A and B are shown apart, each in its own frame.
Chain A
Amino acid sequence: MEAIYLTFVFMLSIFLGFELISKVPSTLHTPLMSGSNAISGITLIGALESVKHGHESVAVILGVLAVALATVNVVGGYAVTDRMLAMFKKKA
């Protein structure tokens, strides 16, 4: 049942994503892409959980690498998106 339930969540999120993203004007497509880079850093959440006491050292190393890479996405993605969006100004 767990699998079905997760698939449900997945399906509904995809449809929600289509609805949301199709409303983003093409003016903002580059920040959208860098912003979604940041969101895809969500893997970080899973990676954090995998770095546990008592885990085998190989698993911990893999987990830490995943944490580092996903953090680059999260931190870099949000920061560069903010930097870009700050440039979009209304006519004075």
Chain B
Amino acid sequence: MNMDLIINFSYVVSAILFVFGLKMLSSPATARKGNMLSAVGMLLAIVVTLLYAGLDYKWIALGVAIGSVVGVVAAYRVQMTSMPEMVALFNGFGGLASLLLAWAEYHQTGELSTFIAVVTMLTVFIGGVTFSGSMIAFAKLAELISSKAVIFKGQHIVNGAILLGALAAAIAFVMAPASSYPVFIFMAVVALLFGITSVIPIGGADMPVVISLLNSYSGLAACAAGFVVNNNILIVAGALVGASGIILTKIMCKAMNRSLGNVLFSGFGSVIQAKGSGPQGEVRPATAEDVYYILEAADSVAFVPGYGLAVAQAQHVVQELGELLEQNGTEVVYAIHPVAGRMPGHMNVLLAEANVPYDQLVEMDEINPRMDSVDVCVVIGANDVVNPAALDDESSPIYGMPIIETHRAKTVIVLKRSMNPGFAGIQNALFFNDNTRMYFGDAKASIQALVAEFKSGN
């Protein structure tokens, strides 16, 4: 009894450490310490749990050893560009762990109270959906399968039928848990199936929303498992993660101007706009030398990077150019749209990796109000997130989406390979504006040319 008290009191301390850890994530200056604090909380919870009587340590050691090796290797080998894949995989592992835990409990006890039976079904369902959904999201992100939206006829009917099946199974299970082992297995299978059929119709461009949502599910699965094993710390930590995922999902949806229902059920990205429509006009191309003179004379420059920057592996040369500009007395910032990159905040990590200091990373809502005073915006590998049609063209498919309003800057330089429209296939009026200069070519080579100009100019 006394031991029980110590263990549970330690869980309270762990919960406090998790909360403070998350609180310290509110600034890049304290974030790393916050992560440490959170890890200490986890370590404490693990160590005190091992004090429970009757644990089979050799099996536990085996599980922990395998998990630690896989975790460490994955954490230190993953490329920053592949973070979305890793988070998707980890979401899936979390979901599966919760499912297996509920299964182990059920297998051992058999007879469950009505409440425990209900939360067991919930754990199995959420855990199963999280696991298979995450595996599909991972396969799409890693391009192991087509990242396009896979749509088939009667999709909603199939999904509806699966959900009804799950509900029926849950009711049958709760009525008589002890004699319902096959129903339990059926529920697990149905959940895995639903994870697949609900994620497969979602296109690659919407994956940031999906992994945020699955992130939330993995927390909720842990939470539900906490109800099964009657453990507060699982509930608290799981709920924190669940809330985090929901907030990120909301932010992503808002930044793409879509409702969650629209992302989940409509298969956007499968519809490509008719090309050749939209604004036309004359573009003003610029050479490296032209761009050099514009940048050289600027007092403030805002780089607006899109994922194309990372694809071209240009983040390091951009950072070099930024540094040269600063030496030249120019104020440099990087304005980052919430959906730049392949997951929330991805672009920031890629730039931080290239040694861009975090005080130069500014959010869309921070740069837009002072855009009129920016001398030069350099748009690299971004298109739709700077398309003014989102503000003024009601017929545009991206109308209403918040954008970085680069067209309001004094001069805009757009780096682009060619005049092909962007990901959503929408032509961009920004390219034809009077204050826009197009700087054609490969992003990395183009920036390198500017760096060379600066070095020879100084």
A residues bordering B, Cβ < 8 Å?
A: 2-3, 6, 9-10, 13-18, 20-56, 58-60, 62-92
Contact = CB atoms under 8 A, between A and B. Distances in A.
A10 to B, nearest CB: 5
Contacts of A67: 59-60, 63-64, 67, 97
Given A6-B235, A32-B248, A50-B101, A40 B32 contact: no
Interface string B379-395: 00000000000000000
A80 B107 contact: no
Contacts of A3: 115, 227
B248 A37 contact: no
A31 B25 CA distance: 9
Nearest to A41: B94
Chain A contact residues: over half helix, strand or loop, or mixed?
Answer: helix
A6 B227 contact: yes
B63 A46 contact: no
Given A34-B90, A45-B45, A52-B56, A40 B238 contact: yes
Contacts of B59: 51, 60, 63-64, 67
Interface in B47-78: 49-50, 52, 54-56, 59-60, 62-64, 66-68, 70-72, 74-76, 78
B98 interface: yes
Contact of A75 (B75, B80, B101, B103): B75
A21 B212 CA distance: 13
Contacts of B227: 3, 6, 10
Nearest to B21: A35
A73 B344 contact: no
B62 to A, nearest CB: 6
Given A76-B74, A90-B358, A70 B345 contact: no
A36 B74 contact: no
Interface string B8-47: 0001000000110111011111011001101100100110
B234 A46 contact: yes
A86 B358 CA distance: 11
B115 A70 contact: no
Given A30-B87, A44-B97, 4 more contacts: A16-B19, A23-B23, A64-B60, A70-B93
Contacts of B45: 42, 45
Interface of B: 11, 18-19, 21-23, 25-29, 31-32, 35-36, 38-39, 42, 45-46, 49-50, 52, 54-56, 59-60, 62-64, 66-68, 70-72, 74-76, 78, 80, 83, 86-87, 90-91, 93-94, 96-98, 100-101, 103-105, 107-108, 115, 211-212, 215, 218-219, 221-223, 225-248, 251, 336, 338, 343-346, 348-349, 352-353, 355, 357-361, 363
Contact of A40 (B19, B108, B222, B344): B222
Contact of A80 (B78, B232, B338): B78
Contact of B349 (A9, A20, A30, A53): A30
Q: Which A-B residue pairs are the 10 nearest by beta carbons?
A: A71-B67, A17-B243, A29-B345, A76-B71, A67-B63, A75-B71, A13-B239, A79-B75, A29-B344, A91-B357
A45 B54 contact: no
Nearest to B99: A66
B229 A69 contact: no
Nearest to A84: B349
A63 B98 CA distance: 10
A44 B355 CA distance: 35
Contacts of A16: 19, 239-240, 243
A42 B233 contact: yes
A70 B28 CA distance: 27
B241 A40 contact: yes
A52 B164 CA distance: 36
B344 A50 contact: no
A49 to B, nearest CB: 6
